Copies of this chain bind each other. A is one copy, B any other.
Amino acid sequence: MPIPELDTPALVVDVDRLETNLARMAGRAEAAGIDLTPHAKTHKCVPLARRQLAHGARGLTVATLDEAELFADGGCDRLFIAYPCWAGGDRAARLRALHERVELRVGVDSVTGADQLAAAIRGADHPLTVLIEVDCGGRRSGVTPDRIRDLVTHCLRIGLDVAGAFCHPGHAYTSPGQVPGAAADERAALTTAGAVLTWLLDRPPVLSGGSTPTALDGLAHPLTEVRPGTYVFGDRQQMHLAAVPEDEIALVVAARVVSVPRAGEAVLDAGSKALSSDRPAWLTGHGWIAEAPEATVAALTEEHAVVRGLRRPPAVGDLVRVVPNHVCTAVNLGREITVVSDGKIVDMWPVGPGARR
């Protein structure tokens, strides 16, 4: 993945690797007969989303109203806000407008949240579709399986259309060894949810699973849908968790050596405002440098990365490629992605508003 001379720090995607990643996941989902609804919070990038849809994705997953509006504006007509989306205040009208524009599904994990959603779309000509969020062990949001029945019953009573349930096996990210267990937990939780929902609903439930590390495990019964995000680019976390090889990494942060203060050390112009400081406890350092895989990105401040353990002496001005720990939070910090093919710039893609509402 050679990259051209460019201004730094810069998000750079190798479009050929990206296409390979998109095609591979789409092909696997299609072969398994499972819907692929990629999580677009990873890229917030309309041109990239269009490629996912062209590869057969059944719409997109998003986390926020801002993201939903970005992709609705970009032409996506099927969106899943896989989040216990609050619909109070001005957000009610925004949610309602989305509901009228696209085929919208929204996550719900509480009676209060469900009531707000129902109030937001009151009077619409078709009901809002919701999926019940189930906690499969990640201990974030989501109801425990024993509370599914009551929540579904409530949602149906207030006029919401319950289509199924979804999980995010976030504990896959707690250590590389945890991935198979998290995938099994997700299957178990969705199996339980499926049994409850089959009893309560008049059609087979959607059972939707999340996360890139568990996505391949998820392409099987009982899941009907997967929502991986990071697979498009890969990142240092996925290199460890999902054993993504270096030659499948499609996005790097191009950075420049701006200081060589001590022997074996370099300071790059990509700090926590470019790479983000996301770092799981099981991972040392803040990125993987393609030109110096032996080195450690030992410290990040806002605009500096201090690199230690370099074998070859760096020079001020050197351009390097940093694979960030977590690509979603790194991309969120950029305004555009430089698109390269064979080391040449072929396009510039905007990254949607540093959107988080």
Interface residues of A (CB under 8 A from B): 5-9, 41, 63-64, 83-86, 88-91, 109-110, 112-113, 116, 133, 135, 139-144, 170, 256, 258-262, 267, 269, 272-274, 276-279, 299, 301-304, 306, 315-317, 328-329, 332-335, 353-354, 356-357
Contact = CB atoms under 8 A, between A and B. Distances in A.
Contacts of A274: 356
Contact of A278 (B5, B85, B262, B272): B272
A137 to B, nearest CB: 12
B109 A170 contact: no
A306 B141 CA distance: 8
A110 B260 contact: yes
A354 B334 contact: yes
B316 A113 contact: yes
Contacts of A109: 259, 261
A8 B357 contact: yes
A354 B335 contact: yes
A5 B317 CA distance: 49
A135 B277 CA distance: 23
A72 to B, nearest CB: 18
A276 to B, nearest CB: 7
A143 B256 CA distance: 18
A9 B91 CA distance: 12
Contacts of A354: 333-335, 354
Contact of A141 (B116, B139, B304, B317): B304
A205 to B, nearest CB: 21
B140 A256 contact: no
Contacts of A6: 89
Contact of A259 (B64, B141, B258, B306): B141
Nearest to A63: B303
13 contacts: A5-B89, A41-B302, A112-B317, A140-B261, A142-B259, A170-B301, A272-B329, A273-B329, A273-B356, A274-B356, A276-B276, A276-B277, A277-B277
A215 to B, nearest CB: 17
Nearest to A354: B354
List the 8 closest pairs (A to B, CB-CB), nearest first. A141-B259, A112-B316, A63-B303, A84-B258, A141-B267, A354-B354, A84-B259, A110-B316
Contacts of A5: 89
B258 A329 contact: no
Contact of A113 (B110, B258, B302): B258
Contacts of A91: 7
A91 B7 CA distance: 8
Given A7-B91, A109-B259, A140-B301, A335 B306 contact: no
B256 A86 contact: yes
User: Which residue, A5, A6, A260, has most C-beta atoms of chain B within 10 A?
Assistant: A260
Contacts of A139: 261-262, 299, 306
